Each structure stands twice: as structure tokens, then as C-alpha cells.
Structure 1
Amino acid sequence: MVRKELQVMRKRIVVFVIAIVAVVAVLVGYNVFQRTQSKDSARISQVSRTNQGKSKQRPKKNGKVLIVYFSRKKGVSDGPLKIGHTKVVADFIQQRTGADEYEIKAANPYPKSFKATADRAQQEQTDDARPKIKNKLPNVKKYDTVFLGAPVWWSEYPMIVRTFMDAVDLNGKNVVPFTTHKGSGMGSAQNQVEKQYPDANVLEGIGIEGEQAENSQKEVDQWLSKIGY
């Protein structure tokens, strides 16, 4: 009798242990599944965010390219220069892309001294002026991408560049801002371009310190590669 009771008890213990093991296995398996699902979801979400970011940083189509720039050899703090800083960067972009170039030239030339140029630039900004451009504006219809470069004056593009932006519609194109500066980076140039051309594909721009422009080719090439050129 005692032996039978012991056998029954052993069977019950075995069944109980098996049940406990099964429950633990189910719980462990469920937790592993949940962690895997969570990781997969996070990875998919990250890929989605990355792709969304890149969608605005790649050209819609990589066709004919134009570089529009305003550059100064005189009236700069470290001048006079043989080649303006912005022109140097524009030429690096041209070497990489094979682009055409268009230089914005002022109908009323800016002063030869740095202070006088700075004072005039500040007054033009205060007046929200649109200084006249001397040379004929380019026909941009045949270009898919337009790079737009200038020195940063009082934290933004010179007002003569605003003259160009108001006169030339770049909506529907890839538009790429670039600047040279004395420590302000791009200033508000990126935002200016995005606001001016809401239907353009505005790519990530670059700001090059003016005095380092001649040594910036590697940096410019890396940036161009990053944005798809």
C-alpha cells in the first residue's frame, strides 16, 4: 500500500515538474520572440528614418549642372586675392561635376576696402535691397542641378544673390547652397534657399572657411560624394 502511494506520488511529482518546465519554456520562448520582434521593429524604423533623411539628400536626377556664384577678390579681410574664395570652391565643384559656371557681377561694383564693403552690405540688408546684376541672367531650363554659392555677409547671402534668387525660378530642380565664411558656417543660406524654392529638391549645403578655401578640395569632394555627385 505504501509502495503504491509512493509510486503515485512520484508520478505526480514527475508530472508537476514536466508542467513547470513546459511553462518556463513557453515563457522564455515568448520573451525571446518579443525581444526579436522589438529589435526587428526598431531596425525597420531606423532604416525608414534613414531612407527618409537620404531622400532629401540625393539628387532627383543627376543631369546637367550649373554653378552660380558671387565672389570677391577685393574688399575682403584677407585680400586682395588672385581668386576669390567662393570662386575657388566653385571651381572645385566644377572639376568634380563638369558643370557650367555663371558668375554674378554687380552693376554697381562693391568698394575696394573691406570696411566700406561691409558697411554697404549691412545697409543693403537693412533696406532689403536688390542690387542690380550687371551680366545677363543664365537660362536655367536645361539644368537639373544648380549650385548656388557666395560669401556669408552679415550671417546670410549677400543681397545681390537675393536679386538672382528672386529673378530665377529654380523650383523643380536640385538646388545646392554653398558658402565661404569667416566662422559663421553657412549662416542662414540653407534656410534662405529652402524658403525661396519650396518645390525644389534642396540638398545639404556646405560652408568653407574663406582662408582655408584653397586647401578645401578634399572636403568639397567628400561633401559632393555624400550628396550624390
Structure 2
Amino acid sequence: MAKTLVLYYSATGTTKRVAQQVAQVLNADLAEVHAAQPYTTASLDWNDPQSRTSLEQHQHDSRVAVKDDLPNIRDYDTIVIGHPIWWGIPPRLIADLIDHLDLNGKKLALLATSDGTGYERSQRFIERAVAENSYQVKVNQGAVLNNRRQVEQWVQQF
């Protein structure tokens, strides 16, 4: 029997809500990804060009460390990674997350939350991180999901 794990990072709770909906519809397990150094309200201020996230997101090919509390993914066939979109791409910690997962032989599905950005640049960002690790993994086309109707349509690909 195929098993699915929904791994998500959520700074404000928006992605958490969507990840919970996806896990419920897929009857999947759910686990939250944490930054090794948690973000504060000030560090998330996208209007401040000197905020932590503003600086991180503009450092090409940088990584932000994830907390070493990730679940063992060995028994899962499908891994869903959920994240917000910051400056057109996933938070830099998503690349570090991919570095820490053995995705060989898995199916990888991607979702994000965003108020106005599509998934194209995020897809390339994650595919590049997967390629850098030389994983043999099927990467599904990701999508921006902001409500239950979109979630229910998206899970039809499974």
C-alpha cells in the first residue's frame, strides 16, 4: 500500500492550513519542517531590504539550515513538500530540506501558497536542488494552492 508524507514549512500558518487539507484529502502523514534558526516577525518583513528573509532570498544558491528533526521517509512512496513563495521562489531552507532527504525512488509532489505568484520559478528551484543531489526521483508539476477547492483538484494527480 502506497504511503504519502506531507512535509511543509509555514512561517505564518497559511501553508500549514493548506498542508493539513492536502494530508486530510490524501489520508497522508503530516510533518512540519522548522528552520534551525527560527524566524522572527522582524526577520520576515519583506518590506525591509535588510530583513533576514530579504537578504537570504537574494543570495543565489544559498541554503538556510533546517532543524534536525525530520521524519524518516524510508517507508513513504510519495513525499509532498509544501512551502510559501518568497520573492518568487521557495524559502532557501527548502533546498536544505531536499539535501537532507533521500528521495531516490520516490515520487515528489510540490505545492505552495502565494497571493500572486505562480509556481514556475519554484518548480525550477526545486528541480535544480533535486538535480544537485543526483536523486532518481519523479518530480510532479507543482501548484499554488490557496483554498480547499484547489486542493481537491490538485490531489487528482495522485
What's the TM-score, normalizing by structure 1? 0.60
Give 1:203's aligned residue: 140
Matched residues, number: 150
Q: Deviations over 1:48-76 (max 9, x none)?
A: xxxxxxxxxxxxxx710001110012xxx
Q: In 2, Cα distance between the equivalents of 1:69 and 1:97?
A: 15
The two structures, once aligned, show a CA RMSD in angstroms of 2.0
Cα distance, 1:72–1:117 mapped onto 2, change above 3 Å: farther
Deviation at 1:161, TM superposition (A): 1.2
8 Å Cα contact 1:145/1:174 also seen in 2 = yes
Where does the alignment leave 5 or more consecutive residues of structure 1 unmatched?
Answer: 1-61, 74-83
8 Å Cα contact 1:104/1:135 also seen in 2 = no
Where does the alignment leave 5 or more consecutive residues of structure 2 unmatched?
Answer: none
Q: Which has the higher contact order (CA 8 A, sep 6+)?
A: 2
- Secondary structure class of the residue paired with 2:5: strand
Give 1:64's aligned residue: 3
Percent of residue pairs identical: 33
Q: Does 1:87 align with 2:26?
A: no
What's the TM-score, normalizing by structure 2? 0.84
Give 2:150's aligned residue: 219
Cα distance, 1:173–1:117 mapped onto 2, change above 3 Å: farther
Cα distance, 1:203–1:187 mapped onto 2, change above 3 Å: closer
Give 1:153's aligned residue: 86
Q: In 2, Cα distance between the equivalents of 1:187 and 1:112?
A: 27
Structure with more of its chain in helix, by fraction: 1
Deviation at 1:145, TM superposition (A): 0.2
Cα distance, 1:204–1:185 mapped onto 2, change above 3 Å: same
8 Å Cα contact 1:179/1:185 also seen in 2 = no
